[in-house]
Amino acid sequence: MELKANDMQLVQCPSCSQSTLKIENGCHSCLNEDCGFSKCDV
């Protein structure tokens, strides 16, 4: 099964201000390789 980009919820990253922040299972991770922002809520 192929994952399509529009199946993911991408929002604006607080670190790099790009719409590359993925929210999955309570974790926020930036898909921008130059940024690398990540945060997980416990």
Q: Domain residues of the chain, as ranges?
A: 8-36
pLDDT at residue 28 in the model: 94
For the stretch 6-20, pLDDT in tens is 556 799 999 999 999
Q: Find the mean pLDDT for residues 9-36.
A: 94
Whole-model pTM over 0.75: no
Mean confidence (pLDDT) of the chain: 85
14 has which bridge partners?
A: none
SS3 label, residue 14:
coil
Q: What gap in Å lies between CA 41 and CA 3, rounded to an integer? A: 25
Give the model's confidence band at 27: pLDDT under 50 very low, under 70 low, under 90 confident, else very high: very high
**Pairing status of strand 21-24 against strand 27-30:** antiparallel
pLDDT at residue 3 in the model: 47
